[in-house]
Amino acid sequence: MGRFVWTLLAGFALGTPAVPVGLSLSLPAPVAVVAVLLGAGCCVAFAVFAMERVRRHWQSWRLGAKSAAVLQVSPFHTAEKPGAAAAESRLSGVAGQRARRILARFGVVGFGILGPALFGTWGSALLGAALGIPRWRLIRWLMTGITLWCTVLAVASAMAFDVAGIG
């Protein structure tokens, strides 16, 4: 039971790379994958809900500050889409640009499947939420991608452990 819990915690902290941790703790591959999936699922849900709340708070603060500045400058306030200027400057770093390219090219499905491999579990959940992907769609496709990559890592790690005589 303790090895399962340690693998679950490793899945929460590391995401898909925690599968070899479970195998090195002498857990069977399916049990290690389930433990990592449970931990990664908690990680994704926590990150998506927390980031969505932060993003909403930031957008409302930014819209309030922008409205106050416009009202001070001119009595005529033109209505514009909330967060339109913020969407252009959002995630201007290298990872943000790469995430936007993947999202534009492959959509939410591609982001959910490629994200855990390219950005990690935490990174893909936070980037997806920051990009404004609807939360349940993001969680569903990230968990699909995490399941895929956990399975690939479990098979590859089990084969490597057998070849090396570990475990």
- Report the domain count for the chain: 1
43-64 as b/e: b if 16+ CB within 10 A: bbeebbeebbeebeeebeeebe
Residue 19 within a domain: yes
Residue 83 within a domain: no
Residue 63 in tokens: 């819209």
| Residue 125 lies in domain | 2-73+90-164
Task: Give me the chain's average pLDDT, please.
Answer: 84
* Residue of higher predicted confidence among 160 and 73: 160
Using left for φ > 0, alpha for ψ between -120 and 50, and beta otherwise, residue 109 falls in: alpha
Residue 37 in tokens: 């999936």
Residue 80 within a domain: no
Q: For 87-113, what is each residue's pLDDT tens digit?
A: 455 667 887 788 888 889 989 999 999
- This prediction has a pTM of 0.77
Q: For 13-64, what is each residue's pLDDT tens digit?
A: 998 899 999 998 989 999 999 999 999 999 999 999 998 888 888 888 888 7
Separation of alpha carbons 53 and 130, rounded Å = 10
Mean pLDDT value across residues 124-135: 90
Residue 84 within a domain: no
Q: Confidence band (pLDDT; 50, 70, 90) for 77?
A: very low
Residue 67 within a domain: yes
Residue 85 within a domain: no
Residue 78 within a domain: no
Q: Is residue 162 over pLDDT 60?
A: yes
